Amino acid sequence: MPTGKICADFGGVKRDGTPCTRGAGWGRKGIDTGPCKNHSSDEAEKQNAIKAAFLEKIQDPLMSKETAAVHVGSSVTAIWRMRQTDPEFDAEITRIHQANDPLRLEAVEDSLFARIVTGGASGTETIFWLMNRAPDRWQDKRFIQHTVEGNPREALAKLLNMKPEDLPE
Ligand SMILES: [Zn+2]
């Protein structure tokens, strides 16, 4: 039988210090006394450990949130739910993500550049890179396509004013 009590009646306090208004025992089958699922000490401790580990993981700019969630024994969905119920956790994820964005972009650029230089990039990727980095020199698409499809290393060497054999492997 529901007692009509709330989590705060059993000591549940939200992170901002205000009383937790969730139903007592919320989320725990057949239990309607005691704090809610988030504030029962076992569950709260487990969640806090997952949150801390997740925040630690995503400091790495090359770590996707999906991979990080799996690494900490959680899931994208569970992390999403934690973000909904914990504004501080949500804000911290957003902050880390924004700080890492330039690093992620750089990593993608470096990886693309390396593949172009070693001949591992597709013609389209090479064209894209050349057109963006030196539009004034690579405006004639037909010319580029022809050149690049022939030999991406030669095209890149030309752009860099280098001989193809002087490009790093
Ligand atoms: Zn609660």
Task: Look at residue 30 in the predicted model and tell me its pLDDT.
Answer: 72
How confident is the model at residue 27, as a pLDDT? Answer: 64
31: CA distance to ligand 1 center in Å? 14
Per-residue pLDDT of the chain (169 residues; tens, 9 = 90+): 556 788 888 888 888 888 999 888 766 667 778 888 788 887 778 888 999 999 999 999 999 999 999 999 999 999 999 999 889 999 999 999 999 999 999 999 999 999 999 988 888 888 888 888 888 887 665 555 555 556 777 777 777 777 877 777 6
Give the predicted TM-score (pTM) of the model.
Answer: 0.55
Q: How far is the CA of 2 from the centre of ligand 1 (A)?
A: 16
CA of 167 to the centre of ligand 1 (A): 62
pLDDT of residue 28: 67
C-alpha 38 – ligand 1 centre gap (Å): 5
The domains of the chain are located at 1-39, 40-164
Return the pLDDT at 166: 77
Burial 27-66 (b: 16+ CB within 10 A, else e): eeeeeeebbbbbbbeeeeeebeebbeebbebbeebebebe
Give me the pLDDT at residue 45, please.
82
User: Can you tell me which residue has the tokens 């000490």?
Assistant: 41
Q: How far is the CA of 51 from the centre of ligand 1 (A)?
A: 17
